[in-house]
Amino acid sequence: MIDLGEWLRSFGSARRQAGVHDCVTFPAAWAIANGWPDPLTEWRGAYDTEELALDLIRDAGGLAIICDAGMAQAGIPERIGKPVSGDIGVLILGEHEAGAIFTGRRWALVAERGLAFASVEPDCVLRKWSVGHG
């Protein structure tokens, strides 16, 4: 079993980079680390700038839709009810959607300057999937 805290610490100094370390590749890496197929297979390498990422998200109808398709393709089940530590989710933060990992108390996500943690109201969690072993 992978320790989420240790795994998150390994990203402590990583800076955000579109297509490499961002709000989608970060949770996908967690899924892969937990033995799941890559939920980004269809989109990996499709963008390398913020503008291309936003175009991709807009054209798909939103990040939650992209993640839903990727998680389904990887066989990762949707989480019904409250999230548990290790779950992946798509949050709505202001006007933007972001992929994140639930720590048990807060959501870990990649912000502009790197790893960030956020407490959000339940209605800000658009979708969630059971990835960890919790």
Q: What is the per-residue pLDDT across 31-75, written as a single tens digit (0 to 9) for each? A: 999 999 999 998 899 999 999 999 999 999 999 999 999 999 999
Query: Is residue 2 predicted with pLDDT exceeding 90?
Result: no
How far is 101 from 103, CA to CA, in rounded Å? Answer: 6
Q: Tell whether pTM > 0.85.
A: yes
User: pLDDT grade, residue 134 (50/70/90)?
Assistant: very low
How far is 31 from 97, CA to CA, in rounded Å? Answer: 19
Q: What pLDDT shows up at residue 1?
A: 65
* 113-126 pLDDT, tens digit each: 889 999 999 999 99
- DSSP state at residue 109: E
Q: What pLDDT shows up at residue 24?
A: 94
The phi and psi torsions of 95 (rounded to 5 degrees) equal -100, 5
Q: What pLDDT shows up at residue 133?
A: 55
User: pLDDT grade, residue 12 (50/70/90)?
Assistant: confident
Q: What pLDDT shows up at residue 6?
A: 94
The overall average pLDDT reported for the chain is 93
How far is 132 from 47, CA to CA, in rounded Å? Answer: 27
- In this prediction, residues 1-22 reach a mean pLDDT of 89
